[in-house]
Structure 1
Amino acid sequence: MREVIIYTDGACSGNPGPGGWAAVLLSGPHRKELSGFDPHTTNNRMELQAAIEALRALKYPCKVKLYSDSAYLINAFRQNWLATWQRNGWVNSKKEPVENQDLWQALLEAARPHQVEWLKVQGHADNVENNRCDELARAAIAAGTKG
């Protein structure tokens, strides 16, 4: 199975507001950068969209280490929130519908063919690839709001 390292990030100008997402995919000597824009969204939605788009970009089932500075994204997998939400019919502990259910379901679908390890990285620190994702996500917002 091919091994891929993915870094993702989302950004929002206002929350909600215009948003951007970005991902850096690394595999051996190969590097791919992805980014996109949404005119009206939230930071959490952009964090999820970044992971979805990165996993969808993989052409084959891969062993993935996915790094994000989003506790919302990483904890959903590492603390089994997703399994609980699914078991409870997409209702959270407050008996309310889970926010961003559409993106959580898309993320589960995108992750299904892969072996994904979900890893937390400190945001806005010394991680070069996380900082690059932040830069790309913010550039996507700037480009999207100009055009």
Structure 2
Amino acid sequence: MPMPRNYQQRRMNYRARNTEQDSDTDDTHSVHSSLSHGASTLFSHDDRSSVSSGPVSVSHALPHRGTGLRFRPENMYPDRFTLADIEVPRGPWVYLACPGSRRKCPHCKVHVSHSDHVVVAVDGACSKNAKDGARSSYGVFWGHNNVLNTAVPVEGENHHTNQVAELRACMRALLDVVHVKSLFEDQGGALSVVVIKSDSEYLVRGVTEWLPKWKRNGWKNSRGLDVANWEHFKAIERLTEDLERQKIIVKFWHVPRRNNRDADAMAKAVLRGVWNRGLGLLPPF
């Protein structure tokens, strides 16, 4: 499915700024580390300079923390990429496609990807949203048959809502990044970038746009009241900063609901009682 119209419109500026420098990708070059391009090709830390020698240098396409927590693929990928193309599932992980990939592998049907850039999908669900007797749950999807995939009821909350469940899912994903880093390093790899994918505008805009304003106002909203769920947003900020100190870049990606079906299905399966931690979805699906 092509990217929505607003994605295409934003890319007009991209095309005006960038001359395509795509390099050929052969059938055997399906995954590479961005370390082969020098510093991280897609993103940069404050203390990293762009030394990319790769096919498309977009290390400055998104600014660093403070103005660039939002992942905006429309500013990074050529028009031939659909939203689905940006994610490259391989084994138990989902990687970010390389913007310089000219064509999909004819065997795998996916683009070349960066082996140190991963995408994790999060979502929350709530029955009787914000009402008496409400129950909520969340799903965290790292990839098919990934041992870190999580679908659990939300516990320890006095007030159950979809928004709280979505924030808890994000917190869980960020906590698990440390384990992902260790797994990659144990296999001789590295983890440079984690993209949190969510269909929740509340989560993504809350973290990337509204949170700095809330902090300046002492976690008060425009009416002088406490920001709803401020503790969760504060925890997400702390977890993100902890990862950045470990040289892991964290980005937040807002996608349509149809592009977040795995995490959504996991969260809802918990409420329906058809999720087993060891087996995943149980029949009926």
Q: Could you state the TM-score of these two structures normalised by the residue count of structure 2?
A: 0.45
Identity of matched residues, %: 29
Distance 2:234 2:172 in 1: 13
Q: 2:124–2:169: 8 Å Cα contact kept in structure 1?
A: yes
1:62 positional shift: 4.2
Q: What secondary structure does 1:58 align onto?
A: helix
Distance 1:46 1:20 in 2: 6
For the structure 1 residues 49 and 62, does the alpha-carbon distance in structure 2 shift closer, same or farther, using more than 3 Å as the test? farther
Distance 1:100 1:41 in 2: 11
1:93 aligned residue (219, 222, 246): 222
User: What residue ranges of structure 2 are gaps of 5+ in the alignment?
Assistant: 1-39, 41-115, 182-190, 275-285
1:95 positional shift: 1.4
1:142 positional shift: 2.8
Match of residue 34 from structure 1 = 150
1:93 positional shift: 1.6
2:202 aligned residue (68, 72, 82): 72
Work out whether 1:21 is the aligned partner of 2:138.
yes
2:255 aligned residue (105, 108, 121): 121
Match of residue 58 from structure 1 = 177
Write the deviation string for residues 111-133 of structure 1: whole angstroms up to 9, x where unpaired: 2214221111101x2x2xx1111
Work out whether 1:10 is the aligned partner of 2:95.
no
User: What residue ranges of structure 1 are gaps of 5+ in the alignment?
Assistant: none
Work out whether 1:102 is the aligned partner of 2:231.
yes
| Structure 2 letter corresponding to 1:139 | A
Distance 1:54 1:3 in 2: 15
1:110 positional shift: 1.8
Q: What secondary structure does 1:118 align onto?
A: strand
1:15 positional shift: 1.1
1:44 aligned residue (152, 163, 166): 163
1:140 positional shift: 1.7
Write the deviation string for residues 74-105 of structure 1: whole angstroms up to 9, x where unpaired: 11133x20001011110012211000111111
Q: Which has the higher contact order (CA 8 A, sep 6+)?
A: 1
Q: What secondary structure does 1:10 align onto?
A: strand
For the structure 1 residues 30 and 116, does the alpha-carbon distance in structure 2 shift closer, same or farther, using more than 3 Å as the test? farther
1:23 positional shift: 1.0
Match of residue 280 from structure 2 = none
1:43 positional shift: 0.5
**Aligned residues: CA RMSD:** 2.2
| Structure 1 letter corresponding to 2:200 | S
Q: Identify, as 1 or 2, the structure richer in strand.
A: 1
| Structure 1 letter corresponding to 2:153 | F
1:38 positional shift: 2.4
Distance 2:271 2:229 in 1: 20
Work out whether 1:137 is the aligned partner of 2:267.
yes
Q: 2:167–2:232: 8 Å Cα contact kept in structure 1?
A: yes
Question: Which structure has the greater CA radius of gyration?
Answer: 2
Q: What secondary structure does 1:57 align onto?
A: helix
